[in-house]
Amino acid sequence: MPGSATNHIDKPLVIAGREFSSRLIIGTGKYKDYAQNAAALAASGADIVTVAMRRVNIGNPDEPMLVDFIDPKKTVYLPNTAGCFTGEDAVRTLRLAREAGGWSLVKLEVLSDPKHLYPDMEETLRAAKMLIDDGFEVMVYCSDDPVFAKKLEDMGCAAIMPLGAPIGSGLGLQNKVNIRLIVEQTQVPVIVDAGVGTASDACVAMELGCDGVLMNTAIAEARDPVRMAKAMKHAVIAGREAYLAGRMAKKLYADPSSPLAGLI
């Protein structure tokens, strides 16, 4: 029955057979400290955080560890390959991540020019193949090109993650047409990764039918990151609900909301 409460329950987000209640994924970079990061995570309601792999600081083995602030048993760690510019670098990094954490769900990103951090799609395709052959479940950061997105899906990637705008730019979705084309053609989750600047950007991504949004800088570099994390939680829910509700038709002229009949 339309309007009944049972109709308003959303399906969970399912990635590689795992269910997640939140459709927001947040990064763990650029925060003032790990404590602020953990507070933002709590405010965001996210189930998944992206993390990076880096060398241990040999001179200071007692430095704060991310795992001491965000418990990998409660929050899914999604290791990324940020900073990798070749397929081999990315595969090497994620094999280490799998050994450190014991999980095979990963985020692949193979970058090109540091100026725009656009994904090198040729290397991304090659690395995705290597990782899938090695048993990884690959969520892949990619350009917003529907042709590449299809190739990555056909190869067996667990989620397609097109950029909305360059990483860290906060410019919002630059090509809604392409994001929508990717959403329409893709059977696995589509998650906008990069480019969100504020809550309305996340909302737009969800209204287009994306299955989720991944962001880091929009929260970490807000004046109040914890409050922005809360805003993003609501934006993703609002955009998702609006998408499921189906928006009204746009009209060229006004249409009064109050009945005209019975005017005094």
State how far the Cα of 4 lies from the Cα of 231, in Å rounded to an integer.
27
Query: Least distance (Å) from another protein to the CB of residue 166?
Result: 12
Count of C-beta atoms within a 10 Å radius of residue 122:
12
Residue with tokens 């067996």: 156
**Residue 169 in contact with another protein, rule: CB under 8 A:** no
Structure tokens at 59: 């001179």
Nearer to another protein, 89 or 150 (CB): 89
**Residue 28 in contact with another protein, rule: CB under 8 A:** yes
> Rounded to the nearest 10 degrees, what angle do helices 199-207 and 225-245 cross at?
20
The interface region with another protein, picked from 7-15, 95-103, 125-133, 251-259 by CB under 8 A, is 95-103
Of 96, 185, 105, 102, give the one whose Cα is nearest residue 145. Answer: 185
State how far the Cα of 202 lies from the Cα of 210, in Å rounded to an integer.
10
Structure tokens at 114: 């540091």
Per-residue DSSP letter, 5: G
Nearer to another protein, 50 or 186 (CB): 50
State how far the Cα of 230 lies from the Cα of 232, in Å rounded to an integer.
5
β partners of residue 170: none
The interface region with another protein, picked from 13-21, 47-55, 145-153, 197-205 by CB under 8 A, is 47-55
Is residue 32 annotated as part of the catalytic site, yes or no?
A: no
Of 31, 21, 215, give the one whose Cα is nearest residue 107. Answer: 215
From the candidates 107, 151, 230, 251, give the one annotated as an active-site residue: 107
**Residue 80 in contact with another protein, rule: CB under 8 A:** yes
Nearer to another protein, 43 or 181 (CB): 43
**Residue 113 in contact with another protein, rule: CB under 8 A:** no
Query: Least distance (Å) from another protein to the CB of residue 79?
Result: 7
Of 196, 243, 193, give the one whose Cα is nearest residue 219. Answer: 196
β partners of residue 140: 108, 160
Nearer to another protein, 27 or 189 (CB): 27
State how far the Cα of 116 lies from the Cα of 107, in Å rounded to an integer.
19
Site for another protein in 182-221 (CB under 8 A): 216-217
**Residue 51 in contact with another protein, rule: CB under 8 A:** yes
Query: Least distance (Å) from another protein to the CB of residue 92?
Result: 7
**Residue 32 in contact with another protein, rule: CB under 8 A:** no
State how far the Cα of 260 lies from the Cα of 210, in Å rounded to an integer.
39
Instruction: Select the residue interacting with another protein from 9, 11, 99, 262 (CB under 8 A).
Output: 99
Nearer to another protein, 37 or 124 (CB): 37
Query: Least distance (Å) from another protein to the CB of residue 193?
Result: 9
Query: Least distance (Å) from another protein to the CB of residue 5?
Result: 37
Which residues are the active-site residues? 107
Residues at the interface with another protein (CB under 8 A) = 27-31, 34, 37, 50-56, 58-59, 61-62, 65-67, 72, 77, 79-80, 82, 92, 95-97, 99-101, 167-168, 216-217
